[in-house]
Structure 1
Amino acid sequence: MGVRGRRSRNHARLSTRLQPLDRGLLPGFGRAPRSDRAPLAARSGIFCARELERAVADGCRGGWVAPFTHTRKPHGHPDHDPLYRAACALDVPIAIHPTYEPAWAIPSRFKFMGREREYFYNVMGRQGSQQAFLSFFTMGALERFPALRLGVLEVGCGWIGSFLDRMDAAFGTISAKGVPLSLPPSDYFRRQCFISGDPDERAAPHIIDAVGPECFVWATDYPHPDHPASWARSLERFVAPLSPRTRALVLGENARRVYGI
């Protein structure tokens, strides 16, 4: 559904072959469980379903899709149902994860920016994932697949509270007349979605209990240049306001449950 076909398939195979070599070799991480996610990047829901089946057989614990599709059909479109049907049958999650995108897919309305555009697009990069995520609601994918576990990764989590508030508010208006959902959007989120928070987020911890503590995990993209090496100290601050139970969920229990680790 994203960027690559055969190249992505080869990447997934190489990832699962090399993953056992990672165990015990990464300083500070100990013996990592086999929890790779397969990149599902194709033009066809049927192809993605087959690739997910192959990847899970190889040891992957889930799949991820890019925030865009080559066909320009939203992620929640029924054409992609074979992938979500396969994920439910295999009992593995699907997550939306940012990646390099073709120029037409980059959300932009301004020109005449120089080197500062890199910072601008880094901050605004979550827009693509938000649109992909929203399409699962607006096109009824979560209604069609109540067993689907859907994640949003590496775009922060502090925004999800107001995002759900807006979805619920709009759902009660005439603008949602064509939306095939039987429940408020936030109910689907709490039932079957999860989102990762970055350790350097300061406001995010204060919405976790209000949104649903079972829906949050943490992640860092260090050593990517936009994710500092201070993530461990930041994570301590991130979980400090949380209750002991919520802290345990966010630090590991939710991830283990979602990915079957």
Structure 2
Amino acid sequence: MTLDAPLAPARDPHAADETGRQADARLKIIDGDVHPAPRSLADLKEFLPRRWREHLDVYGSRRKLGMSYEPYPKSAPRACRRDAWPEDGGAPGSSLDLIRTQYLDAYGIEYGILGPLGVSGHSEINQELSAALATASNDWQREHFAVPEPRLKAGIVAPTEHTEAAVAEIERRADDTAFAQVFMLTRTSEPLGNRRYWPIYAAAERHGLPVGMHVFGSGGHAYSGAGWPSYYTEEGAGHSTSVQTAVTSLVLEGVFERFPRLKVVMIEGGFGWLPALTWRLDRLYERMRSEVPHLRKRPSEYIRQHVWVTTQPMEEPADPRRLVDILEWIGWDRLIFASDYPHWDFDDPFRAFPAAVPRERHRQILAANGRAVYRLG
């Protein structure tokens, strides 16, 4: 899809047609990756204590080295579609009215799960500022989006490197139906299976909340393991690498053995990598299981029981039947539809699946799986 293409829905093949099927026969859609954005930092400052408002005015936001550059192409500021910029001058994702008309209403979205990026408390060097920004981001999501628009469900931003504050945020929001997940990024200071993050997983499991792990982040490490990429194309392709690293760490460090009811959703990292990674982990486990005696199952079993993946970006092999092979191996119940609205690589829910994907599976991926994982009734 091009940057200039209008964000208008294609005809839903399951909607009413000339034969008289009713409009309510349309597929319900639950979107696991919608990105809200503040109009400006002032929107978040509204929810910050005076101390931190003044801190940002004087010192600004400081993240770890390595991600201080602009990560998106100049032709796609904020990685967003050109037609997603509100007329009032705010950033894409900042206007609830535009989100409603351009996406929620146009596509008949039942629920959209929010995941705020940018200056939202994920990656500040100053951990107290990170905690304050996370609280502000959660208050802002709730008041500006989830409360006025029940179709939008907020994600609890967990300041990952400040575990105590992250747990406090989860405890504060867990019983609030405006929130549907704990929201983290995949590039952290340590691999995500590290014990320093276990209190976050314990809190999420305790409250039955899935943990959404979205690609990106400012943990100070390049995804490559050998320095920073030269091209945006490399950066985009590398997203799947960071997701594979996260899954590997969660499994081998024993997170799923310790937290047997934990659900993790890997967001915007694709899914084509999952079979090969699982095969390799199982093979290594068979040879060296004595190194990880805390694991009582094969890695593939933990992945099958605890990990979900979103559909965006959709892998598109030349022969779409190969895509179906991958989806069948992963498990149709492990896939959650994601559009990535309002970003430029937005996946139209009416066009996301090639014809080779069985029609009966559309309903499962577009809504049923997300409804179960996010406890949407």
Higher helix share goes to which structure?
Answer: 1
1:13 aligns with 2:130: no
Q: Choose from 285, 293, 298 the match for 1:171.
A: 285
- Cα distance in 2 for partners of 1:106, 1:147 equals 29
Q: Contact (CA 8 Å) 1:197, 1:218: kept in 2 or not?
A: yes
Q: Which of residues 331, 339, 357 in structure 2 aligns to 1:220? A: 339
RMSD: 2.4
The equivalences for 1:18-167 within 5 A come to 18-20=144-146, 23=149, 33-58=151-176, 59-70=178-189, 72=190, 74-109=191-226, 113=230, 117-167=231-281
1:259 aligns with 2:374: yes
Q: 2:337 touches 2:365 (CA, 8 Å); kept in 1?
A: yes
Q: In 1, are the aligned partners of 2:229 and 2:235 still within 8 Å (CA)?
A: no
Q: 1:91 to 1:172 in 2, by over 3 A?
A: same
Q: 1:130, CA displacement in angstroms?
A: 1.8
1:236 & 1:131 partners in 2: Cα distance?
27
Offset, 1:236: 3.9
Take 2:220 and 2:200, find their aligned partners in 1: how far apart are those partners?
A: 26
Greater C-alpha radius of gyration = 2
Offset, 1:232? 3.7
Higher relative contact order (CA 8 A, sep 6+): 2
Deviation string for 1:142-185 (max 9, x for gaps)?
A: 001110011101111121111111111111112x4322211111
Whether contact under 8 Å (1:96, 1:133) holds in the other structure is no
One-letter amino acid of the counterpart of residue 220, structure 1: S
Q: Could you tell me which residue of structure 1 aligns to residue 311 of structure 2?
A: 197
- Distance between the aligned counterparts of 2:199 and 2:225, measured in 1? 31
User: What is the alpha-carbon distance in structure 1 between the residues aligned to residue 328 and residue 315 of structure 2?
Assistant: 15
Match in the other structure for 1:29? none
Aligned partner of 2:356 in structure 1 is 241
Within 1, Cα distance between the matches of 2:219 and 2:348? 30
Residue identity in the other structure for 1:40: A
> 2:131 touches 2:162 (CA, 8 Å); kept in 1?
no
Q: Which amino acid aligns with 1:9?
A: T
Distance 1:106 1:208 in 2: 25
Q: Is the 8 A contact 1:156 1:196 kept in 2?
A: yes
**CA distance in 2 between partners of 1:112 and 1:140 (Å):** 31
Distance 1:245 1:112 in 2: 41
Structure-2 change in CA distance of 1:45 and 1:120 (3 Å): same
- The unaligned stretches of length 5 or more in structure 2 are 1-120, 124-129, 318-322
Query: Residues 83, 200 of structure 1: CA spacing in aligned structure 2 closer, same or farther, 3 A cutoff?
Result: closer
In 2 relative to 1, CA 93–232 (structure 1 residues): closer, same or farther, beyond 3 Å?
closer
Higher mean C-alpha deviation, range 52-61 or range 96-105: 96-105
Stretch of structure 1 that moved more, 132-141 or 52-61: 52-61
Rounded Cα–Cα distance in structure 2 between residues aligned with 1:109 and 1:177: 30
TM-score by length of 2: 0.59
C-alpha separation in 1, matches of 2:337 and 2:138 = 23
Are the aligned partners of 2:222 and 2:228 in contact in 1 as well (CA < 8 Å)? no
Task: Please say if residues 34 and 61 of structure 1, whose CA atoms lie closer than 8 Å, have aligned partners that are also in contact.
Answer: no
| 1:51 aligned partner, one-letter code | E
Residue type at the aligned position of 1:104: H
Q: How many residues align?
A: 243
Give the deviation of 1:78 after TM superposition. 2.4
1:188 maps to what in 2? 302
Q: Deviations over 1:20-76 (max 9, x none)?
A: 4663xxxxxxxx534221121232333212111223244211112111333x3x221
* Alignment check: 8 A CA contact 1:42 1:48 kept: yes
Asked if the contact 2:131/2:165 (under 8 Å) is kept, the reply is no
Question: TM-score when scaled to structure 1?
Answer: 0.83
Alpha-carbon offset, residue 8 of structure 1: 2.1
